[in-house]
C-alpha cells in the first residue's frame, strides 16, 4: 500500500463520523458534502450517547430494589452517616413516634416531638436546651438535683452545737442527701443521653433504676435512726432488711428485660414494694409509742404524705396518665413521666422536712432515753 493510500485509509477504532477527504467529492476545491455528512454523524453519536446515559440512570434507579442485601446495607450506612453529620452540626428535628427505632419506643401515647437517634454525646447534651418530649424530664430532676445538693451542703455545714451527736446525725442525714442526689443525677443524665444509642440507653437506664433504690434506702436511714433512737436493736435489724431489699431491687434492675415497655408495671411495682417495706417498722413505731405520739412527735403525718406522693407518681407512670386519655396532647408537657418526676422531688422534700422535725425534737429532748426505751 502506498503512503498516500495509508493516509487516506481510516485507522481501526476511529469514529465513522470522521470521514476522510477521499470519501468526499470535491467541488471547486471545497468539501461541503463531507462537512454535512460529518455533522449529521456527530449529531447521531451525541443522540446515542444521551440515550445510553438515560438508560443507565433508569436501570440504576430500578435496580436499587434488586440490590443485594450487602449493597442495600452500604447505601443505608451512607444515609446514616449523612444524618449523623447533620445531627453533629445541631440541625436535627424532632420526629414522630412511629418512625423511632424500637429501642427508643417507650410510650406510644406520646405521638410527636421525639428526638431522633443521636450518636454524639455533644449533641445529646446540647439537646437539653431544645424542646422535645424529654425536656421536662431532664429539667425537673436536674434542678431538683441542684436544689438537694445546695440543701445538703447547707445542712452538713451547720454548726455542731445544733446536734446531739453531730458526727452520727450528719452521717445518717447525709445518707438521705446522697441517695437523693444520686437518684436525681442518674435520672437527668439518663433522659439526656438515652437517645445516643441502644447500648448507652441500656447502661444509663440501669443507673436510673439503681438511683431510685438508693433514694428509698437513703430515706429510711435517718427516719429509722431518729424513730428508734432509744431502741438500737430493731433499728439495726430494719436497716439490714431495707439494705438487702434495696440491693435485690438493684440486681433485678440490671436485667435487660427490666427496662422494656412491657415491664413498666413491674418496674413500678418493684420500687413501690421496696418503699412499702417501711410499713412494718411504721406499725412497730405506732404500737410502741402510741398513735398520738407517733403523729405528733414521730412526724407520721409527713411520712404518710411522702408515701402518698411517691405511690401516686408511680401509679401515674405505670398507667401513663394523662396521655393515655389525651394521645398527642401531652407530648411535650405534663405527661406521666414528668408528673412522676415532680412528685418524686416533692416527696423527697417532704421527707426531709419530717426528718428535720425529728432531729429538732431529738436536739430539744437531749440524748437521754427513758427506761422503757420510748422517745
Q: For residues 54 and 60, give the distance between their C-alpha atoms in angstroms, rounded to a whole number.
A: 10
Residue 6: the pLDDT is 46
Give the Cβ contact number of residue 298 at 10 Å: 25
Contact indicator for 148, 180 with CB cutoff of 8 Å: yes
Of the candidates 310, 319, 362, the residue with the CA atom closest to the CA atom of residue 180? 310
Contact indicator for 217, 244 with CB cutoff of 8 Å: no
Task: Give per-residue pLDDT as tens, 254-271.
Answer: 999 999 999 999 999 999
**Lowest pLDDT segment from 19-23, 215-219, 247-251, 314-318:** 19-23
Residue 84: the pLDDT is 58
Which residue ranges make up the annotated binding site? 191, 337, 341
Residue 175: the pLDDT is 97
Whether residue 173 is predicted with pLDDT greater than 70 in this model: the reply is: yes
Whether residue 171 is predicted with pLDDT greater than 80 in this model: the reply is: yes
Block residue for cell numbers 428526638: 115
Residue 296: the pLDDT is 86
Q: For residues 55 and 50, give the distance between their C-alpha atoms in angstroms, rounded to a whole number.
A: 9
Of the candidates 152, 253, 173, the residue with the CA atom closest to the CA atom of residue 211? 253
Whether residue 345 is predicted with pLDDT greater than 70 in this model: the reply is: yes
Residue 30 sits at φ, ψ, to 5 deg, of -110, 165
Q: Could you tell me the three cell numbers for 239?
A: 436497716
Whether residue 133 is predicted with pLDDT greater than 90 in this model: the reply is: yes
Of the candidates 285, 144, 138, the residue with the CA atom closest to the CA atom of residue 215? 144
| 251 preceded by a cis bond (ω within 30 of 0) | no
Task: Give per-residue pLDDT as tens, 35-92.
Answer: 555 666 666 666 666 566 555 555 544 444 455 666 766 666 766 666 555 555 457 9
**Lowest pLDDT segment from 2-16, 121-135, 138-152:** 2-16
3-state secondary structure the chain: CCHHHHHHCCCCCCCCCCCCHHHCCCECCECHHHHHHHHHHHHHHHHHHHHHHHHHHHHHHHHCCCCCHHHHHHHHHHHHHHHHHHHHCCCCCCECHHHCCHHHCCCCCCCCCECCCCCCHHHHHHHHHCCCCCHHHHHHHHHHHHHHHHHHHHHHCCCHHHCCCHHHHHHHHHHHHHHHHHHHHHHHHHHHHCCCCHHHHHHHHHHHHHHHHHHHHHHHHHHHHHHCCCCHHHHHHHHHHHHHHHHHHHHHHCCHHHHCHHHHHHHHHHHHHHHHCCHHHHHHHHHHHCHHHHHHCCCHHHHHHHHHHHHHHHHHHHHCCCCCCCCCCCCCCCCHHHHHHHHHHHHHHHHHHHHHHHHHHHHHHCCCCCCCCCC
Block residue for cell numbers 438537694: 148
Q: For residues 324 and 107, give the distance between their C-alpha atoms in angstroms, rounded to a whole number.
A: 9
Of the candidates 103, 115, 117, the residue with the CA atom closest to the CA atom of residue 331? 115
Whether residue 124 is predicted with pLDDT greater than 50 in this model: the reply is: yes
pTM of the model: 0.75
Residue 199: the pLDDT is 95
Higher local confidence (pLDDT), 88 or 368: 368
Residue 19: the pLDDT is 46
Which residue ranges make up the annotated binding site for Zn(2+)? 191, 337, 341
Give the Cβ contact number of residue 79 at 10 Å: 9
Higher local confidence (pLDDT), 10 or 130: 130
Of the candidates 47, 44, 26, 45, the residue with the CA atom closest to the CA atom of residue 35? 26
Amino acid at each position: 500500500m502506498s503512503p498516500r493510500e495509508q493516509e487516506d485509509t481510516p485507522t481501526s477504532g476511529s469514529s465513522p463520523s470522521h470521514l476522510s477527504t477521499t470519501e468526499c467529492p470535491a467541488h471547486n476545491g471545497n468539501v461541503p458534502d463531507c462537512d454535512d455528512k460529518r455533522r449529521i454523524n456527530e449529531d447521531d453519536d451525541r443522540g446515542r450517547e444521551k440515550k445510553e446515559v438515560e438508560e443507565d440512570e433508569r436501570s440504576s434507579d430500578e435496580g436499587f430494589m434488586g440490590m443485594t442485601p450487602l449493597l442495600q446495607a452500604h447505601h443505608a450506612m451512607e444515609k446514616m452517616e449523612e444524618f449523623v453529620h447533620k445531627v453533629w452540626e445541631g440541625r436535627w428535628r424532632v420526629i414522630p413516634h412511629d418512625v423511632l427505632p424500637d429501642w427508643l419506643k417507650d410510650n406510644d401515647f406520646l405521638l410527636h416531638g421525639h428526638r431522633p437517634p443521636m450518636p454524639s454525646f455533644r449533641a445529646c447534651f446540647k439537646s437539653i436546651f431544645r424542646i422535645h418530649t424529654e425536656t421536662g424530664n431532664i429539667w425537673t430532676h436536674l434542678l431538683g438535683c441542684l436544689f438537694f445538693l445546695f440543701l445538703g451542703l447547707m445542712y452538713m455545714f451547720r454548726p455542731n452545737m445544733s446536734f446531739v451527736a453531730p458526727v452520727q446525725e450528719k452521717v445518717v442525714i447525709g445518707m438521705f442527701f446522697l441517695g437523693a442526689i444520686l437518684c436525681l443525677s442518674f435520672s437527668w443524665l439518663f433522659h439526656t443521653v438515652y437517645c445516643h444509642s441502644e447500648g448507652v440507653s441500656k447502661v444509663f437506664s440501669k443507673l436510673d433504676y439503681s438511683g431510685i433504690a438508693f433514694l428509698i434506702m437513703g430515706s429510711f436511714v435517718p427516719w429509722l435512726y431518729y424513730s428508734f433512737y432509744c431502741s438500737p436493736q430493731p433499728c439495726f435489724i430494719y436497716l439490714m432488711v431495707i439494705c438487702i431489699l434495696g440491693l435485690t431491687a438493684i440486681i433485678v434492675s440490671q436485667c435487660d428485660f427490666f427496662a422494656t415497655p412491657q415491664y413498666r408495671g413491674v418496674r413500678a411495682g418493684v420500687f413501690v414494694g421496696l418503699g412499702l417495706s417501711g410499713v412494718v417498722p411504721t406499725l412497730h413505731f405506732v404500737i410502741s409509742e402510741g398513735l398520738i405520739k407517733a403523729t405528733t412527735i414521730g412526724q407520721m403525718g409527713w411520712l404518710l404524705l411522702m408515701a402518698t406522693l411517691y405511690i401516686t407518681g408511680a401509679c401515674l407512670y405505670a398507667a401513663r396518665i394523662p396521655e393515655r386519655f389525651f394521645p398527642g396532647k401531652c407530648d411535650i408537657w405534663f405527661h406521666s413521666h414528668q408528673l412522676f418526676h415532680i412528685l418524686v422531688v416533692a416527696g423527697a422534700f417532704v421527707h426531709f422536712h419530717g426528718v428535720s422535725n425529728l432531729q429538732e425534737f431529738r436536739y430539744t429532748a437531749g440524748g437521754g432515753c427513758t427506761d422503757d426505751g420510748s422517745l
